Structure 1
Amino acid sequence: MGASTSTSEDSDKHLIQKVKIALVGTYAVGKTSIITRYIRDTFTSDYIYTRGGSINRKLITVHGYKLQIELIDTGGQKYQKEIAPTLYKIAHGILLVHDISKPQSFEHVEEWLTGIRQNTLGDPVIMLIGNKNDLDPQVKSDYPSTESTNLTTGLSRVPYEQCQKKVQEEGLLPFYSEVSAKTGINIDPVFELLVKEILHKQHSLLGTIWEPDLGKDEVDKGRPNDKNPSHKRLTCTIL
């Protein structure tokens, strides 16, 4: 990929841009874990309580340009949603996260989008992703009803096609992807794609041209092929 981490002490004098990205979504979908994987390349199975508004930073290089990425971690609990509008206002991009193993988290996507669009000052790039792709999509879960003998068994998974449809209907960045903070699959490519689109949009608004040839980036869908367990790949080009 075109982005790499920079640890150089003199990188500030080459820094041309700060890119602010807010991660939003329902409680316990894995926003903090995604940030931890991207920043430190680590993962913990212990739940990490998030106090909304914490910021993590990372220096990356995109085609020779050094950028500082600021990831704004937001809490998903109802009482923390009150501070979310303030965070939306400063974000250049928003990563909207749902948990593919919890359909209810996907059902709340539209609610999150409404809040974002009502409170942003600009026009941030919004990307939808599904976390926890490491969970077996074929695992079935039992949901007990009022009678112990009456169990409803079904797939605990949000259909990939349903997520793609939501992206199209809402006019989001047209590259939906499933990721896993646990295994790291698609975490770096997703952030790189979002950052490049933010830069492209900002330069377009300023009337300048984002000159580097961004070429083709491969983002693994993270969805198993129906006939083959190997993953398909989604190839996209930022123009």
Structure 2
Amino acid sequence: MIIILFFFFLEVQLVPRDEYDLSHKILVLIGESGVGKSNLLSRFTKNEFNHDSRTTIGVEFSTRTVQLNQFTVKAQIWDTAGLERYRAITSAYYRGAVGALLVYDISKHLTYESTERWLKELYEHADPHIVVMLVGNKTDLESLRTVPTDEGRAFAEKKGLMFMETSALDSTNVEAAFNEVLTGESSICKVKDPGSRIQDPGNFLQALAAPVER
């Protein structure tokens, strides 16, 4: 079955340096088709960029191990795509996620406009304490930019999200984006919108290392 919408499931295993036996956790990378999620994944896990990246069919995955503070993070990243009519099914994968990267293309304003809908769906199905970063991808297309940095940042501030702009093509901020969501150690915006969620990174790594109920 051919899929248009992409979901990336980052299954994280946090282990002290002398131990390799902690539970798995999940991060999700979500957003409209064509915003560059596959290449963000490829750049982070393999330091590669595919100029001929195509719509994902079925399920693919990549892994990478990262050292964060006293923890080793073993990430297994699942790339699952789905047509919009299957969103009710794929959204079930949000359950249990401890973090998410919500991606839009800075050169396509419609992909940015859809982020509020993606965020609403995420919050409907995910843990209430999920840490979310809004990611404006493809900064290498600066001359084609339709979403100003300040606009993206203001939306993130309003919703209590982390915010970063990236380029999978030239690697700008790709490492930083994944690592900040993994650790939760970002400067968090104070939110004026009482209906929004403030990301609290204080004990995020400890939460990641907590065992999963099975």
Q: Which TM-score band (shorter chain)?
A: 0.7 to 0.9
- Aligned equivalent of 1:131: 137
Unaligned runs of 5+ in 1: 1-10, 140-155, 208-239
**Aligned partner letter, 1:161:** D
Q: 1:171 aligns with which of 160, 163, 166?
A: 160
Q: Shift in Å at residue 132 of structure 1? A: 0.6
Q: Which amino acid aligns with 2:131?
A: V
Which SS does the other structure have where 1:105 is aligned?
helix
Is the alpha carbon distance of 1:205 and 1:19 closer, same or farther for their aligned partners in structure 2, counting shifts above 3 Å? Answer: closer
Structure 1 residue 202: deviation in Å? 5.5
By relative contact order (CA 8 Å, sep 6+), the higher-ranking structure is 2
1:190 corresponds to 2:154: no
Give 3-state SS (helix, strand or coil) of 2:40's partner.
Answer: helix
Q: Give the aligned partner of residue 143 of structure 1.
A: none
Q: Distance in 2 between matches of 1:14 and 1:114?
A: 35
Q: Which residue of 1 aligns with 2:195?
A: none
Q: In percent, how many aligned pairs have the same letter?
A: 26
SS of residue matched to 2:139: coil
What do the CA deviations read for 1:167-222 (whole angstroms, capped 9, x no partner)?
0111113xx11101111111011111111117832526999xxxxxxxxxxxxxxx
SS in 2 for 1:184: coil
Amino acid at match of 2:181: L
Q: How does 1:81-96 map onto structure 2 within 5 Å?
A: 81-96=87-102
Structure 1's 86 and 54: CA in aligned 2 closer, same or farther, altered over 3 A? farther
| Equivalent position of 1:69 in the other structure | 75
Stretch moving more, 74-83 or 191-200:
74-83
Are the structure 2 counterparts of residues 59 and 107 from structure 1 closer, same or farther at C-alpha, using a change threshold of 3 Å? same
Give CA-to-partner distance per residue, 1:60-80, whole Å, 9 cap, x none.
111242121233434364134
State the secondary structure of the residue aligned to 2:182.
helix
Aligned partner of residue 150 in structure 2, secondary structure: helix
By how many angstroms is 1:57 displaced?
A: 2.2
Secondary structure class of the residue paired with 2:73: strand
- In the superposition, the TM-score normalised over structure 2's length comes to 0.73
User: 1:64–1:120: structure 2 CA closer, same or farther, 3 Å change rule?
Assistant: closer
How big is the shift at 1:29? 0.5
Q: Work out the CA distance in 1 between the residues paired with 2:86 and 2:153.
A: 28
**Partner residue, 1:56:** 62
User: Of 23, 26, 36, which residue of structure 1 is paired with 2:29?
Assistant: 23
TM-score, with structure 1 as normaliser: 0.66
Matched with 1:201 is 204
What CA distance in whole angstroms lies between the structure 1 residues aligned with 2:175 and 2:44?
A: 6
Specify the code of the residue in structure 1 equivalent to 2:146: R
Change (3 A) 1:42 1:193: same
- Change in Cα spacing, 1:179 to 1:159, as seen in structure 2 (3 Å) is same
Distance in 2, Cα, partners of 1:206 & 1:164: 30
Structure number with bigger Rg: 1
Name whichever of 100-109 and 75-84 sits farther off: 75-84
Length, aligned pairs only = 178
- The counterpart of 2:85, out of the listed 68, 73, 79, is 79
The structure-2 alpha-carbon separation of the partners of 1:52 and 1:85, relative to structure 1 and needing over 3 Å to count, comes to farther
Using a 3 Å threshold, how does the CA distance of structure 1 residues 12 and 70 change in structure 2: closer, same or farther?
Answer: farther
RMSD: 2.7
| Residue type of the alignment partner of 2:44 | Y
For residues 33-52 of structure 1, the C-alpha deviation after alignment (integer angstroms, 9 at most, x for no partner) is 10011000001111322246
Structure 1, 18-27 or 101-110: larger mean CA deviation: 18-27
Q: Which runs of 5+ in 2 are unaligned?
A: 1-16, 185-200
